[in-house]
Amino acid sequence: MNSPDLLVVGSGFFGLTIAEQAAAAGLRVTVIERRSHVGGNAYSEPEPSTGIEVHRYGAHLFHTSNEKVWAYANRFTAFTPYVHRVYTTHNGEVFPLPINLGTINQFFRAAHSPASARDLIAELASEFDAATAQSLEEKGVALIGRPLYEAFIAGYTAKQWQTPASELPASVISRLPVRYTYDNRYFNDTHEGLPVDGYTAWLERMADHPNIEVRLDTDFFDESQPLNKRAVVGQLPIVYTGPLDRYFEFEAGPLSWRTLDFEQEVLPVGDFQGTPVMNFADLDVPYTRIHEFRHFHPEREWYPDDRTVIVREYSRFADQGDEPYYPVNTPTDRQRLLAYRELTEAEKGVVFGGRLGTYQYLDMHMAIGAALSTWENKLRLSTN
């Protein structure tokens, strides 16, 4: 077999960025992907009956303050001027998020100025000291006071973790920013937008190079395909972006993840909720949020005006066989991660990258940025 100069396992943003950089430097790269499409979790596709672009593995919003990543992304796609905003339904009423002066004044039926809202929150938050809080509840109350914590944080977080808030560790939240202005723009980054032609077009353009061969439906651990782990490790340089514990056959124990379940529906209305994402803060609604995908692309005039696509999102702990989405990061996970890091050090010729390969949540811009520096610092010289 004519083997490639570099094998990349996984075609998400991390793997494709490595492949693109290596191909541009003249290497012949093969990317193998277990799924039947490229793109990893950022993959999207049109819902067939409406043409509305749906993000298959959960809504993806691109935002970055990293100029290098922004310039790199713009080589493959233009971005719309989309600005992300989130609302939440609590007790039969809709409030803006993140918690801001509008949320506070609506909740307390008041007309606080920034200064008097600050005083109010400081007063409410004095019940506990955030530094010594033992539970999520104590920490939430310490940061924003009991009324706002109970309305907007307790139920939502309990649903995310399928665990009563009183039993969750304080570490589940590090900070709860409150904005003392009416600004409810969700992200603070310099650049934000959605890819004009969709995520899949962007991802496919990254892989569109004569030096890159993509093999779909190809699992690294499947010994019936030639570029499997047993056959290639030590034979050629490899970038592995699949699950870290799976690579080492769970030698140090499984790492735990949360997963999401999506319930998609096409509805015979032009507009269901008037906004891309509505959170549901209360426990009596079983899902955490509803995405209405048409609102991510208000500029697409060809979207039908009599039908819409909504996706209800449910959150739970992942079992074997579920898609891993967010690292749980228990103390046991962190111990196991250290053991796996030692194993990766000893695994010569294999670079572990991306969110699954390093067991950490990475936004898209972080995955791209990490891949650009991995290429620059670990691979460029050693593969030339």
- Give 357's contacts (C-beta < 8 A, 6+ positions apart): 10, 14, 240, 241, 242, 243, 244, 247
Q: Do residues 24 and 5 lie in contact, with contact meaning Cβ atoms separated by under 8 Å?
A: no
Q: Of ligand FAD, Na ion, none, which one does residue 125 interact with (CB within 5 to 8 Å by kind)? A: Na ion
Cβ 120 to ligand FAD, closest distance in Å? 32
Other C-beta atoms within 10 Å of 65: how many? 13
Six token digits for residue 290: 């509803």
Report, in Å, the least distance between residue 93 CB and ligand FAD: 26
Among 79, 180, 314, 325, binds ligand FAD (CB under 6 A): 325
- Sketch the per residue contact string, 95 through 134, with Na ion: x for CB under 5 A, - otherwise: ------------------------------x---------
Q: How far is the CB of 129 from Na ion (least distance, A)?
A: 5
Q: Is 199 a catalytic residue?
A: no
Cα distance between residue 180 and residue 114, in whole Å = 5
Q: Does 12 bind ligand FAD (CB under 6 A)?
A: yes
Return the amino acid letter for 350: V
d(CA 303, CA 317): 35
Q: Is 334 a catalytic residue?
A: no
Reduce the secondary structure of 301-344 to three states and give it as a string: CCCCCCCEEEEEEEEEECCCCCCCCEECCCHHHHHHHHHHHHHH
Q: Which of 289, 294, 336, 355 is catalytic?
A: 289
289 among known catalytic residues: yes
Asked if 142 is part of the footprint of Na ion (rule: CB under 5 A), the reply reads yes
Q: Can you tell me which of 7, 13, 121, 199 binds ligand FAD, judged by CB under 6 A?
A: 13
Q: Which of 271, 309, 274, 311 is nearest to 291 (CA)?
A: 311
Site residues (CB under 6 A) for ligand FAD, limited to 230-249: 241-242
Residue 260 found at the interface with ligand FAD (CB under 6 A) = yes
**Residue 103: CB minimum distance to Na ion, A:** 19
C-alpha torsion 53→217→333→319, nearest 10: 80
Question: Which residues in the 340-369 window bind ligand FAD by CB under 6 A?
Answer: 354-356, 362-365, 367
Which residues would be at the binding site for ligand FAD (CB under 6 A)?
A: 9-15, 32-35, 40-42, 57-58, 60-62, 219-221, 241-242, 260, 325, 354-356, 362-365, 367
What residues act catalytically? 175, 179, 258, 289, 313, 361, 363
